[in-house]
Structure 1
Amino acid sequence: MHSKTYLILLLIPVFLFLGFQSLEEKAAPADPWPEITQTAKPWTRWWWMGNAVDEQNLSMLLDEYARAGLGGVEIAPIYGAKGYEDRYLEFLSEDWLNMLDFTVQKANSLGMGVDMTQGTGWPFGGPQVSVENAATRMVIQDYEKRNGVPFTDQIAFEKRRENQHNAELIAVMAYDQQNQAEEITAHVDKQGKLNWDKEGDWKIKAIFLDKTGQMVKRAAPGGVGFTLDHFSKSAVNAYNSHFEQALSGKDYGFRAFYNDSFEVYGADFTRDFFDEFEKRRGYDLKEFLPFLESEENNEKVRRIKSDYRETINDLLLNNFTENWTAWAHEQGKLTKNQAHGSPGNLLDLYAAVDIPECETFGSSYFPIPGLRRDSADIRNVDPDPIMLKFASSAAHLTGKNLVSSETFTWLGEHFKSSFSQMKPEVEQAFLAGVNHIFYHGVTYSPEDVPYPGWLFYASLNLTQQNSLWSHFDGFNDFITRSQSILQAGNADNELLVYWPVYDVWAEPKGKMEMITVHAVDEWLHPTAFYKQSKKLMEQGYSLDFISDDMIQNSRTKDGLIATSDSNQAKVLIIPDTEFMPAETLGNILKLAETGAKVIFQSKPQSTPGFSPKGASDTTFHQLWDTIDFVSGQAKVGNGQVILSEEIDQALMDLGIYRETLVDRGLDFIRRKTADATYYFLVNHSANSISDELLLNAKGKSVVVLDPLTGKAGEIHAQIENQKTRIKLHLKSGESLFLKVMHHEGQVELPDWPDYQQASSVLDISSDWKLTFDKGLPKLPAAQNLNKIAPWTASKDPDAADFSGTGSYTSEFQLAKSAAKQYVLRIDKVYESAKVWVNGEFAGAIWSIPYRLDISKHLQNGENTIKIEVANLMANSIRYLDRAGIEWRNYHEINFVNIDYKPFDASNWETMPSGIEGKVEILEFD
């Protein structure tokens, strides 16, 4: 960092590791922070535009990324910039592989990691995907045969476009007036003539195996081709084999293969689907196609659709996700996968890979005073943190340490996203269990490409040419410190909440049920599962979601439900559920027999799926009837089953208590290590919180750790009824970690300061000089300020167009007392500030509240202060567009705004830049 004093404040020894690893080792006795590893640092998706990469720029950029505090990159080849075609490399060519090898070697030398998208653009696909192995859809064409009237139609596939491949006829079915089916495929000749004349009126359905025709989106050179059929094991094997062969020349030491969210549009079928369906569900789906096509809300339609969707899930899970992960392990690689967007059970799909990855898309509303959120600069999307918990739950329950997130996708309009806006969004992800941040993203941009460099149309675009880049390290340090704790030990969640996926699969609308981030209002929000989970979290309970398969793989140990060797929970909760397999109920009762505690909000209504002989719930009801409830409670073996609409009251009856700190407006997540329980506390409310808190974890002492600055200190704690009472002060927008120590004498730290009430205030807002250090389009003239103000408040047009860094300098007198703490407070910072006091770097101010403890850098008497401010790129981009300077010129999709319309910043207002309001030094006793 910038000074020895700051390093002492940080109290973080930095060790660089080459591989991803779990942080379970105990920190050094004198250091309350876990050690910093490669995965504790944030990583980024790294867009290789046109694969136009070379050793010189790769080396330069990786050096920049390492200096900024990034822990790794995820290579994602995409389309290129126009005019640079001579630099393009074909994906997986010898030249491309040489660049991959160079990247990994260079990253290793810097202690950074590398992941690789298994393809270009998204989803999986490319020129190696044959028509046979391409994404497939079921097309059903309808005909009618009237009694006694010759059938003259030709049964032939009707193309949607001239260049479409001929679809293959799979089967022809006839249905009478009662929808009784008869297969008549054998009666259709090669010319499509039907030679069948059975008495009666019949509906004829011809089933074709068609290709969706979808090509890889945003493909890079050498990556253009069909999207893969994810439901076909042979297609997936062929796809993997292509990479195995291409990478066989040497050991390219990247960590993991990566798969983006499932965006395979219209794919709902595969060649052997009907055979797989009959093998797994026990009947021939072809006989019931009228019900699969219907959207009538009746039981038969819902049950058949549920069976269809469950089969699609099985094929995706078995033939793609599990198969892909097993293959990657054979290659010595991990898998990182986004399950959302797919038609499958998200929990099981996430659990089938090494690193489950979720996604933050859009901008959340936080009532933090002063937090900028212009409606014109955000998408009409309200991210739901509960959606993120599907990935973290899968990781927690299966003993996987890392939960990654594609973070800040379309957080705001290009060039207008600040660190202060990013902080609560990433904190919300942390609270949902994410602990391995991937930025979306950073674009490879060569040194010789003019400002603003190459940019990806949907990214945050924190590149080396961004005016915030020189301040990026402060934000990365915040994430690194946070993740060093969030990757330590294990999640400490006491509740398991059953996700009734069969209720989702029984939706009568449509054929496929795509479980996407953007449709949570349809498949998630209306459910009792969501409402109960949200209510329990708001009441102060910690929870994970559990699937049917996860229940089957759990066991009971010492009265706890062990989902893996590293994860135990106190109780299993079944919210109001319409469909539950009898096997799942049987597995739940087996857990109870051996000591587990289970709460049913109500009795599940039925088993899922359809039986041609009539849906039978006999086994389920027989199992349920073995539970001998007395006043809603039953002893089952060594365990207990409770039937209660009031889940919170049932939890209290079981002695499972909530964290009451949420009543103060705090959000939290817990981790547990061998020697401590960590609390991550966040104040996203509109008010400061200063109150006594009662923590459920019992501790001998409590350490406060500030991820923003690295500062640590001990706070007074009292044991009260096996809990720990502390008093803490958190302003709106602040977050802290608490380390509740299980043993005494582990660390020796100063007392944590009480920042609640300042004893005096020194206003230093007057007499400042402003100079400009670096930026574009040109450096404005220096300014002498009677009162500190934004540089955009002047009438200087150069200052209005400027994006870069400007430095405010001043002097002040202070009567310093060694026994007191001194905090620099700034009303508003646009957008990030680095502070030097008496020539020593004191820290960064980039988030609300704009405060920094500068006690150790002050001296009695005269002091100097320098505040370097970096603003947004918005003003300089506006200048480029107003001046008609072309900077966006890309193949496939050109640069678009947040509404996917052509980007134009020429009509933007000037974004405030610099410092506004008062600058004060607060003194605390």
Structure 2
Amino acid sequence: MNLKHLIYFVLFLVVFNCKTNQEEKLSFFEPTEDSSKPWVYWYWMKSAYSKTGITADLEAMKQGGIRGAYLMTIKGPDDKPLIDPPVLQLSKEFWDMVHWALTEADRLGLKIAFHAADGFAVAGGPWITPKMSMQKVVWTDTIVSDNETNHLKLLVPKHYQDYYKDIATFALPVKEVFKTSINLQPKVTSTLQDFDASFLTDRSTEKKQFRLYENGWVQYKFEDFFNCKSIQIETKGNNYQAQRLLVEVSNDGENFTSLGRLEAPRHGWQDTDAFYTHSIKPTKAKYFRFVYNPEGTEPGAEDLDAAKWKQALKVTKIILSNEPLIDNYQGKSGAVWRISPQTRKINMQDEDCIDGSKMINISEFVDADGVLNWKAPKGHWRILRMGHTSTGHENATGGAGKGLEVDKFNPDAIRFQLDHWFGEMLRTAGPELVSRVVEILHLDSWECGSQNWSPVFSDEFKKRRGYDLVDYLPVMAGIPLESIEMSEQVLYDVRKTISELITDNFFGTLAAEAKKAGVKFSSENVAPTMLSDNLLHFKTVDYPGGEFWLKSPTHDKPNDMLDAISGGHIYNKDIIQAEAFTELRMDWNEHPGNLKTLADRNYALGINRFFYHVFVHNPWLDRKPGMTLDGIGTFFQRDQTWWEPGKAFFDYCQRVQFQLQKGKPVIDLAVFTGEEIPSRSVLPDRLLPFLPNIFGEERLALEKMRLENLGQPTATMPKEVTYSKNTTDLSQWVNALDGYKYDSFNADVLLHNAKVVNGKVIFSNGVSYSILLFPGKTKMNPNNKMSLAVAEKIQALMKAGATLLVGEKPNGIPGKYSKEDKVTWQKAVDFIWKSDVKRLPYLGGTFSEFGVAQDVKFLNLERKEVGSIAWTHRESNKESIYFLSNQKQEKQDLEVSFRVSGKTPILFNPVTNTYTDLSTWKIENERTIIPIKLDANASYFVIFKDNTNKKLSEENKNWSTFETVKTLNQDWTIQFDKAFHGPSKPIEIHELFDWTTSTNDSIKYYSGTAIYTKTFDWNKEVEKDMFLEFDEINNIAEISLNGKDCGVLWTYPYRKNISKALKNGENTLIIKVTNTWANRLIGDEKLSKQDRLTWSTAPYRLDETMMVKSGLLGDIKIQKKLKK
């Protein structure tokens, strides 16, 4: 290289490095106060809106420090409208209300997010015709002989309204005429001796139910031997036990042989769009008995929804057939969200499959009226007419804007839908107002099931998969073609195409339209209702979102949360949101103090912005609590008793969110979801078999007990709902990997974004992962297949120096493939599994052997590890930021070891908004060790920022102690609010008491704010750090001393600095204490309607046992902080 070239090369490196450093710096999101403020779901209910109510709502949001509102209109008017005339969605008056809301939001400096449709689920309207709606494949078949195929009127498959379109019609050679128990009508008996269960296998369409609450059976007796190959199970609603019946057979009715249990697929909550078909080992018998015994029942989860509930057998049909059918083809064809293993060869042989060369496509011989004119070859033929129709799903929570859900695969239809709702809002507001106020296009809950067809589907399939699906279409009806393997491969390709179209055509179109409108795009999850890769769509979304529920274990969404968090991380999204505190039944006892640990746990999972569920628009100014979402959701709205002092909680959330929006998360492990579709992130309990010693012996024992589920223990929460006590609960998996964090990742981001940098794997220029795990077979990935592309990518990552842990060797390729691909695949797989790559299960107790020490470690004073601290870690260009949350309602003294050295730690308290230098710490083995005291439910940030050469700091203790110098327990005056039905005059009390113990109903049932007043003398020196501390506050208190605001107390420790307000001589202390609505609602139920204070649309469900302790209790002390 000559000198000239050398100079140019050096200059190039300098410029390149400068650009890289600049880009790296700019890649870190810089949060602002606005970006970190919480939002609310603003539901407009039942066409009952008013401009005065809208203004009052928005002003309350502004006062509360809320950044913006997700405006969603829910339902239409009741038969007796709440406001008459109602303001119907789509009317001129409705759009005028929307314009008013946007104008008022603009005046107040608030932002608005607008949904993609009327309601909160998901994208449809009255303008969507059946042709433009979500589609599904339907079919009928007819057995004919060769002389019956001229002028044969084919049956029209079951369809929605008058909409049906043919796809193709086939003639399949008949080996035998298949029969079912409906044809043969066996005698049906059961352990319910006086119950006629014959409807289980007759032609009736009435949804009668056979129910068993104790062990029992139902039995079919055939006149002759029946060769059963498949069983169809139908239920009225979701029922897990109907899909796990024990099948026994007999030839004499006395001696029975077990065929084993039916295997329930993984399934979601919206599981009733298709029945179940179980393929079984072909069995000839006269007696078939279906035994219900719940022992061995797996506890519920989001992917086993029907197991969440108290178990019983409830079934409407059990239909036996001698037709070999693909096992659980309904889920495999994408008609419904389900996951099940490949059809087993013991249940079906390849000779049971239709020879593709003998199947004839006779579509050209079927005219527009469905009449077949075809000269058939000699023999008997099964005429299979296959077409598509609307699924019939609607945006069911809408009002006048309710209609069919739009086809999720058709971009033109999607744009048409969006234009009629979101577009109309844009036109109503005008571009200037939109640019100032409308910030987000939002897609909320997916409650419209799945779809497996569209007018565009066949062409999209051919383009993406490289072959014509129509040639294999009968597999979507469960009919096996060519071989079991081939049939399953085609069905996998169907699912893969569906998953891609959801992302590319639906979410991709919405994202493009949002960008065109100048707004951001936010969305929640697709699973577990629509078949999808539930991480994939988040790559198109600006703000991924999950949801978590309060006191609602049957409806909580841990997988939703992890999907949004992992999806956000792997696709490099800076803000990951959560629909926060959704609640199945409001108890009216909710307040910031009992919401905090749940909030903190979800922050520690990886969420960094909340939108509170729910702020319901209250059109009245004189009705309290007023409008609700029919009692669903936590009451975050202006008529909440504690809304104004509750700003202290909202400010807390903003401070936490600000810190957690800095930089990038630090996450050591990434876990492959596998290539099964549908797919979701991997829950921590599913990782336990692969990392047993990371979890530890105690967790192993607890999980073994949980999964055994002996006796199927139940619990109730809320009081009306009985559920499986062992249902998956993330609150039991705090710090699951003992100081390590993990994300899940999918095949898409692995193939298109993964690169190795300094031994770590980076996806999408976001988080860098030290170790990648490929578990192989799991409950959500039961077939352990691996594509050639993934195998080659793993091989490439290994060669580039990535650290990988791999599970069981894959047993095949998903989807159709060539012989050449299989040879190449085998070489790649052999390379990986014959190398020295580490295998799962990994038996180490840490990942230190790979150079990855625990990111954080918690020890108590007995030097035992503590598992009740939720935490997360983020890294920016300037800081290492750790968030710690005590999930217990008790104090904890800890020694915390951080994987950081060479930087000085400081403590940030987001409750008090104060920074404190940590005076005692040490650095050992490249780790900083700090003694930390956590109050009950407390949370702190430990932030490492400034460089230091020190290895030890013992200047002072990190934590102050306090000395009580005066108690103020006695002789208070309390003024209740007469307007809230409190006593009209102040009351004088000697001792503090719980209001609910009063014999005066105006105190006992009081809800609202009461003002405690006390004067006291202070004759001592007013020192720098004087504090007022309370033993117990129910539920939130505003402190004022001598007219000076000292702040709000809403969580432990109940302590406020009063140094600047305390004075020598007489002092006046005023404490405004606010409780919740529960007590007044309970008291009002005893009164006539005209005598009540309260009015609400929430159904009344409280009782005296649900009274909420209220007021100040225990000691009230003035304390001085002692020197450290």
TM-score by length of 2: 0.69
CA distance in 1, matches of 2:424, 2:1086: 50
1:788 is aligned with what amino acid? Answer: L
Report how far residue 478 of structure 1 moved: 0.8
Residue 414 (structure 2) aligned to one of 236, 253, 256: 236
Mapped pair 1:664 → 2:866: yes
Native 8 Å contact 1:257 1:335 kept in 2: yes
CA distance in 1, matches of 2:1079, 2:743: 44
Native 8 Å contact 1:159 1:166 kept in 2: no
CA distance in 2, matches of 1:336, 1:227: 19
Native 8 Å contact 1:801 1:878 kept in 2: yes
CA distance in 2, matches of 1:822, 1:606: 71
In structure 2, the partner of 1:462 is 636
Residue 770 (structure 2) aligned to one of 554, 565, 570: 570
In structure 1, the partner of 2:1051 is 847
Cα 1:440–1:686 shift into 2, 3 Å: closer
Cα 1:362–1:205 shift into 2, 3 Å: farther
Cα 1:857–1:585 shift into 2, 3 Å: farther
Native 8 Å contact 1:703 1:715 kept in 2: yes
Residue 542 (structure 1) aligned to one of 741, 754, 759: 741
Residue 823 (structure 2) aligned to one of 618, 642, 654: 618
Residue 483 (structure 1) aligned to one of 637, 653, 657: 657
Q: How does 1:506-905 map to 2 (within 5 A)?
A: 527-528=686-687, 535=695, 537-552=736-751, 553-577=753-777, 578-611=784-817, 617-627=822-832, 632-633=836-837, 642-646=838-842, 648=844, 651-662=847-858, 663-665=865-867, 666-685=869-888, 687-716=890-919, 717-743=921-947, 754-755=958-959, 758-760=962-964, 763-773=967-977, 776-779=980-983, 781-812=985-1016, 824-854=1028-1058, 857-859=1061-1063, 863-883=1067-1087, 885=1089, 895=1097, 903-905=1100-1102
Greater displacement, 198-207 / 486-495: 198-207
In structure 2, the partner of 1:210 is 389
2:492 is aligned with what amino acid? Answer: S
Residue 447 (structure 2) aligned to one of 263, 272, 286: 263
Secondary structure of the 1:194 match is strand
Secondary structure of the 1:142 match is strand
Residue 185 (structure 1) aligned to one of 345, 360, 363: 363
Report how far residue 220 of structure 1 moved: 3.6
Native 8 Å contact 1:175 1:203 kept in 2: yes
In structure 2, the partner of 1:319 is 505
1:317 is aligned with what amino acid? Answer: T
Per-residue CA deviation, residues 306-361 of structure 1 (Å, 9 max, x unaligned), is: 32221211111111001210121112111001124332111111121111111113
Cα 1:581–1:885 shift into 2, 3 Å: farther
Q: How does 1:492-511 map to 2 (within 5 A)?
A: 492-500=666-674, 502-503=675-676, 505=677
Native 8 Å contact 1:268 1:312 kept in 2: yes
Cα 1:527–1:792 shift into 2, 3 Å: closer
Secondary structure of the 2:492 match is helix
Secondary structure of the 1:137 match is strand
Greater displacement, 179-188 / 620-629: 620-629
Secondary structure of the 1:538 match is coil
Residue 79 (structure 1) aligned to one of 57, 75, 96: 75
In structure 2, the partner of 1:58 is 54
Native 8 Å contact 2:57 2:637 kept in 1: no
Secondary structure of the 1:280 match is helix
Per-residue CA deviation, residues 272-331 of structure 1 (Å, 9 max, x unaligned), is: 323333433344445555654559997666544432221211111111001210121112
2:127 is aligned with what amino acid? Answer: Q
1:277 is aligned with what amino acid? Answer: F
TM-score by length of 1: 0.82
Cα 1:449–1:860 shift into 2, 3 Å: closer
In structure 1, the partner of 2:431 is 250
Greater displacement, 88-97 / 550-559: 88-97
Native 8 Å contact 2:846 2:854 kept in 1: no
Secondary structure of the 2:1008 match is strand
Q: How does 1:97-136 map to 2 (within 5 A)?
A: 97-121=95-119, 122-136=121-135
CA distance in 2, matches of 1:130, 1:160: 14
Cα 1:289–1:856 shift into 2, 3 Å: farther
In structure 2, the partner of 1:272 is 456
Native 8 Å contact 2:45 2:616 kept in 1: yes
Cα 1:357–1:23 shift into 2, 3 Å: farther
CA distance in 1, matches of 2:649, 2:451: 41
In structure 1, the partner of 2:319 is none
CA distance in 1, matches of 2:24, 2:1016: 45
In structure 2, the partner of 1:348 is 536
Per-residue CA deviation, residues 390-415 of structure 1 (Å, 9 max, x unaligned), is: 21222223232111111111165242
Native 8 Å contact 1:47 1:75 kept in 2: yes
Secondary structure of the 1:396 match is helix
Native 8 Å contact 1:816 1:858 kept in 2: no
Q: How does 1:128-527 map to 2 (within 5 A)?
A: 128-145=127-144, 154-157=153-156, 159=158, 164-176=161-173, 177=175, 178-180=353-355, 181-196=359-374, 197-221=376-400, 223-242=401-420, 243-244=422-423, 247-248=426-427, 249-251=430-432, 252-253=434-435, 254-265=438-449, 267-286=451-470, 288=472, 291-294=475-478, 302-341=488-527, 342-363=530-551, 378=552, 380-381=554-555, 383-384=557-558, 387-410=560-583, 412-457=585-630, 458-500=632-674, 502-503=675-676, 505=677, 527=686
Residue 39 (structure 1) aligned to one of 28, 35, 38: 35
Percent identity between matched residues is 24
Report how far residue 97 of structure 1 moved: 4.6
Native 8 Å contact 2:973 2:986 kept in 1: yes
Cα 1:454–1:146 shift into 2, 3 Å: same
CA distance in 2, matches of 1:89, 1:499: 47
CA distance in 1, matches of 2:92, 2:645: 37
CA distance in 2, matches of 1:244, 1:546: 35
Cα 1:847–1:72 shift into 2, 3 Å: same
CA distance in 1, matches of 2:907, 2:643: 29
Secondary structure of the 2:109 match is coil
Structure 2: 5+ residue runs without aligned partners?
Answer: 1-22, 176-352, 696-734, 778-783, 859-864
- Number of residues of Structure 1 aligned to a counterpart in Structure 2: 843
Report how far residue 270 of structure 1 moved: 1.5
Native 8 Å contact 1:693 1:726 kept in 2: yes
Report how far residue 538 of structure 1 moved: 2.5
Cα 1:547–1:295 shift into 2, 3 Å: farther
Greater displacement, 578-587 / 272-281: 272-281
Report how far residue 191 of structure 1 moved: 3.6
Greater displacement, 474-483 / 811-820: 811-820
CA distance in 2, matches of 1:603, 1:675: 43
Report how far residue 659 of structure 1 moved: 2.8
1:157 is aligned with what amino acid? Answer: V
